[in-house]
Structure formats: C-alpha cells, structure tokens
C-alpha cells in the first residue's frame, strides 16, 4: 500500500511539474539547466522515489509556485475514485442483504421440516 501511495505522489509531482512547465512555456530540459541537474538525474529521482527537499525547493523557485503546488491532486480523479468505492460498497451491501434474506428463508424451511418431523413422530 505504501509503495502505491509513493508512486501516486511521484506521478502527481511529475505531472504537476510538467503542467507548470507548459504554463510557463518551458521544457524539462530548461528546468534541469536552471536547477543545475541533468534530465536523466531528475528522471532517476522520480523512478527511485527519492527527491531531496532542496531540489524540490529549487524547482518551485524556478517554476514560481509554492512547494505544495506539486502535491495538489486532480480533484475530479479523486471524486471518481471515491464514487467507485461507494458504488462497490453498495453492490456488496446489496449482495449481503440478498444472502441474509435467503438464509432467513432457509431457516424458515428448516423449521418447517423440523416441525413436520416432530408431528409425524
């Protein structure tokens, strides 16, 4: 679960950097020159799941945004995921309700059979 969270954070970070670069009309190549890195070095940080705070501060300064800008999520994506979970929960609840109803029917049938057997003996 943690790896998945780290991956989501890194993907979001990279996407937000690319989005801001596009807004400013800059390229990744220009960014790495301004933060005194290489493109492979920056991409390695993304793939390793490790970025120094200093590097993030430099990037935020070059892109003229606060650091928290990089961690903002796409709210519509979050809403879709939440809705999907709600839908799944509803399906499971409906299934559980149907199972309980069937178990109640079986219980009544069993009681009827027990009563018939008692009456015959």
Asked whether residue 20 falls in the same domain as residue 44, the answer is: yes
Whose structure tokens read 């070059």?
62
Query: Domain span at residue 95?
Result: 74-121
Please indicate, yes or no, whether residues 10 and 39 belong to a single structural domain of this protein. Answer: yes
Are residues 53 and 79 both part of a single domain? no
Same domain (yes/no): 84, 67: no
Long-range Cβ contacts of 92-95 (<8 Å, 24+ apart): none
Q: What is the pLDDT of residues 71-113, one digit of tens each?
A: 776 555 556 666 777 777 777 788 888 888 988 899 998 888 8
Cβ–Cβ < 8 Å for 44, 53: no
Domain count, the chain: 2
Q: What is the pLDDT of residues 36-53, one digit of tens each?
A: 999 999 888 888 878 888
Give the whole-angstrom CA distance, residue 31 versus residue 99. Answer: 58
Contact of 94 with 49, CB cutoff 8 Å = no
7 plus 49 within the same structural domain: yes
């Amino acid at each position: 679960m943690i790896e998945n969270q780290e991956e989501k954070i890194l993907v979001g970070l990279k996407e937000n950097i690319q989005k801001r670069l596009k807004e400013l009309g800059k390229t990744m190549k220009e960014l790495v020159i301004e933060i005194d890195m290489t493109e492979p070095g920056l991409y390695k940080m993304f793939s390793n799941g490790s970025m120094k705070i200093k590097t993030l501060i430099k990037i935020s300064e070059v892109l003229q945004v606060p650091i928290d800008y990089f961690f903002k999520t796409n709210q519509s994506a979050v809403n879709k995921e939440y809705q999907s979970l709600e839908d799944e929960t509803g399906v499971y609840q409906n299934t559980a309700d149907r199972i309980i109803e069937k178990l109640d029917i079986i219980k009544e049938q069993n009681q009827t059979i027990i009563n018939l057997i008692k009456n015959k003996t």
